[in-house]
């Protein structure tokens, strides 16, 4: 917490606006829309809810297909299943770790040949790094397939000086407790289409018709954000740029201390983009380093340092066993390699230099211990 949040929380209590909706919700939506440069935004209970609403607005239903990045948290794809539709997973490419234009092109070509284009493509910006939006959008525009940009992890990032989350028909942000700014739990659906966002708010408030009594003509959801949590979000948004700077500084320290070691490679930042570096992620090439990813993770855990592998690709998840998946090319599945080699390091905005150096020294010790044991 920044301390700014208390002002807005006190206002919510003083005015007795406790339940969902209220002045903080209205203001938070306007402030997010202004920050990223879109016409409208709808504050909801989670990033997952925002994706679900986007799919509902695009009339995704049973029997439809939705293409989705495979290297992401499962929340990107679960709403596809909520709608009864079928996900098709698209591999990553090595320059951003995000959706491969090469794999997407093949998937769209195949879908067009079968006469069954997807109802939407969900492009995820992994760990705060924007995907290759120009190439991906060009393909989707050619086939007239709408894009949902899952920017849950990339608020504050930019692609060619344009804010992450503003490229598709819809953009999605998350304010979960681990995100770069938080409302403890919450999300935002954004769009240049003001009418679509107005309908999203309607659906997210149980789709209640305009009537004196409670009347409902379509299926709705209980997805709106509370006025208290929106107050937290407003206070957090005031320090977003500082949080991005802090995360980027943390990444840079890791990079400066570890990137010269043969066998360690960090998540790249595509030229013309500005990552928020939500999480610092690196790859361990065991053949070059002599130490496996699992050994380093185990050593960190033993020192009470939390680190994790990168996301397990969705096409490898038991829930999606047998679902269609397109690799980057015939020779390589990039997302699987990233999963087998990748580690996410502690990256919290309030992390001290001393704490970070303890992580760095632990990694160096793991490598040196392995080398020393081999010599002995």
Nearest to 133 by CA among 173, 89, 93, 73: 93
Rounded CA gap, 43 and 22, in Å? 11
Rounded CA gap, 98 and 309, in Å? 16
**pLDDT given for residue 373 in this prediction:** 54
**pLDDT given for residue 375 in this prediction:** 44
Strands 308-309 and 120-124: unpaired
Token pair in block for residue 77: 């794809």
**pTM of the predicted structure, to 2 decimals:** 0.94
What is the tens place of the pLDDT at every residue in 327-345?
999 988 999 999 999 999 9
**pLDDT tens sequence for the chain (376 residues):** 888 888 988 988 888 888 788 899 999 999 999 999 999 999 999 999 999 999 999 999 999 999 999 999 999 999 999 999 999 999 999 999 999 999 999 999 999 999 999 999 999 999 999 999 999 999 999 999 999 999 999 999 999 999 999 999 999 999 998 999 999 999 999 999 999 999 999 999 987 888 888 888 888 999 999 999 999 999 999 999 999 999 999 999 999 999 999 999 999 999 999 999 999 999 999 999 999 999 999 999 999 999 999 999 999 999 999 999 999 999 889 999 999 999 999 999 999 999 999 999 999 999 987 654 554 4
Domains of the chain: 5-239 (3.40.640.10), 241-375 (3.90.1150.10)
Token pair in block for residue 286: 């065991």
Element (H, E) at 373: helix 353-375
**pLDDT given for residue 97 in this prediction:** 98
Q: Is 10 buried (19+), middle (13-18) or exposed (0-12) by CB count in 10 A? A: exposed
Token look-up 């201390």 returns: 257
């Amino acid at each position: 917490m920044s301390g700014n949040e208390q002002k807005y929380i006190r206002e919510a209590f003083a005015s007795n606006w406790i339940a969902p909706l209220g002045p903080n919700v209205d203001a938070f939506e306007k402030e997010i829309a202004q920050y990223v440069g879109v016409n409208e935004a709808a504050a909801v209970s989670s990033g997952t809810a925002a994706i679900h609403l986007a799919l509902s607005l695009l009339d995704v239903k049973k029997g439809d297909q939705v293409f989705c990045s495979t290297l992401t948290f499962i929340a990107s794809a679960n709403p596809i299943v909520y709608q009864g539709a079928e996900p098709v997973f698209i591999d990553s490419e090595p320059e951003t770790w995000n959706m491969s234009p090469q794999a997407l092109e093949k998937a769209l070509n195949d879908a067009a040949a079968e006469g069954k284009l997807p109802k939407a493509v969900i492009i995820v910006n992994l760990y705060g790094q924007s995907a290759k939006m120009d190439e991906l959008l060009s393909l989707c525009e050619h086939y007239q397939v709408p894009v949902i940009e899952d920017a849950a992890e990339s608020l504050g990032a930019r692609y060619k000086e344009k804010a992450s989350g503003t490229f598709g028909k819809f953009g999605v942000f998350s304010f979960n407790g681990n995100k770069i700014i938080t409302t403890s739990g919450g999300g935002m659906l954004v769009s240049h289409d003001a009418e679509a966002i107005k309908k999203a708010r309607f659906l997210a408030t149980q789709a209640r018709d305009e009537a004196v009594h409670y009347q409902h003509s379509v299926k709705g959801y209980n997805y709106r954000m509370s006025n208290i949590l929106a107050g937290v979000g407003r206070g957090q948004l005031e320090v977003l740029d500082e949080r991005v700077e802090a995360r980027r500084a943390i990444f840079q320290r890791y990079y400066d201390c570890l990137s010269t070691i043969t066998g360690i490679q960090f998540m790249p930042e595509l030229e013309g983009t500005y990552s928020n570096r939500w999480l610092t992620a690196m790859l361990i090439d065991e053949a070059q380093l002599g130490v496996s990813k699992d050994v380093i993770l185990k050593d960190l855990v033993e020192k009470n340092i939390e680190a994790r592998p990168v996301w397990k690709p969705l096409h490898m998840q038991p829930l999606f066993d047998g679902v269609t998946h397109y690799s980057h090319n015939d020779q390589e599945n990039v997302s699987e390699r990233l999963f087998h080699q990748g580690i996410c390091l502690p990256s919290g905005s309030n992390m001290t230099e001393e704490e970070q150096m303890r992580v760095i020294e632990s990694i160096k010790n793991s490598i040196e211990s392995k080398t020393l044991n081999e010599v002995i």
